[in-house]
Amino acid sequence: MTEPTVLVVDDEVDILELVSFHLERAGFNVLQAKDGETALSILWDENIDLVVLDLMLPGINGLEVLKNLRENKRTESLPVILVTAKTTEVDRIVGFDLGTDDYVCKPFSVKELIARVKALLKRSGSYGGENTFNAQGFSVNFTNHKIFVDMKPVEFSPKEFAILEYLYRNRNAVIGRDQILDKVWGMDTSVDDRVVDVNITRIREKMGVAKKIIRTVKGYGYIFDPDALNKD
């Protein structure tokens, strides 16, 4: 089973490599960023399950990155552990007010950090439990992002996967194109809502017989309807 993906953001290369090494040894997939701008770019393009985020970064600092995450509906619930050399109560309060889930101060124990990562992922449902949907030869695991059709692996792009998961989380409810745009593309306001239709078409093409589960509701949007396979 593929483990969740953790993004480690720190401009101190030694710390970045140390944390990444131990997370990988613990079985996690790890991506790295040395500044806030790179971190946001990765978060935009990849499926990230948790962020270990340094406070003091060049350019866009950690608090600004955190604020961006919480203002974007696609990442508003993404678990974040803020790492900082600052220890004052005011700094802690600011971090929690902006929505950090946990807080560790340098120097810190790597073992403790990994324990906090695991605890947060378990709490968010992204680690240590099944989180799957299966129907008509189609199988998706929302924890490890693995998808199979007739027992063969199928690759979904990050945005295709995000759309599928969003529809699944809101199954049996009609979701408008504007809602999908807001949730999946968020910060990119230049995207036309027709891109939603294009991605839905691609998703259906990859789902085999189970493509009927994603129904079009004319004039409104789409619905993830698990019972659609039992309908004519």
The number of C-alpha atoms within 13 Å of 125 and in the hemisphere containing its C-beta is 7
Q: Please tell me the distance from the alpha carbon of residue 73 to that of residue 170, in angstroms, as a whole number.
A: 14
Q: Which two tokens stand for residue 70?
A: 């919480």
| 103-114 per-residue burial string, b: 16 or more CB within 10 A, e: under 16 | beeeeeeeeebb
Q: Which two tokens stand for residue 118?
A: 């695991």
Q: Please tell me the distance from the alpha carbon of residue 66 to that of residue 56, in angstroms, as a whole number.
A: 12
* CATH T-level fold of 132-230: Arc Repressor Mutant, subunit A (1.10.10)
> Domain boundaries in the chain?
5-124, 132-230
Provide the 10 A C-beta neighbour count for residue 56. Answer: 15
Digit-coded pLDDT (tens) for 33-58: 999 999 999 988 888 889 999 988 99
Digit-coded pLDDT (tens) for 68-117: 988 887 788 889 998 887 666 556 666 677 778 888 888 888 989 999 89
Q: Please tell me the distance from the alpha carbon of residue 114 to that of residue 20, in angstroms, as a whole number.
A: 10
Domain at 5-124, CATH class: alpha beta
Digit-coded pLDDT (tens) for 131-172: 678 888 898 888 778 899 988 999 999 899 999 988 998 888
Q: Please tell me the distance from the alpha carbon of residue 156 to that of residue 147, in angstroms, as a whole number.
A: 8
User: If DSSP states are collapsed to H, E and C, what string results for 21-86?
Assistant: HHHHHCCCEEEEECCHHHHHHHHHHCCCCEEEEECCCCCCCHHHHHHHHHHCCCCCCCCEEEEECC
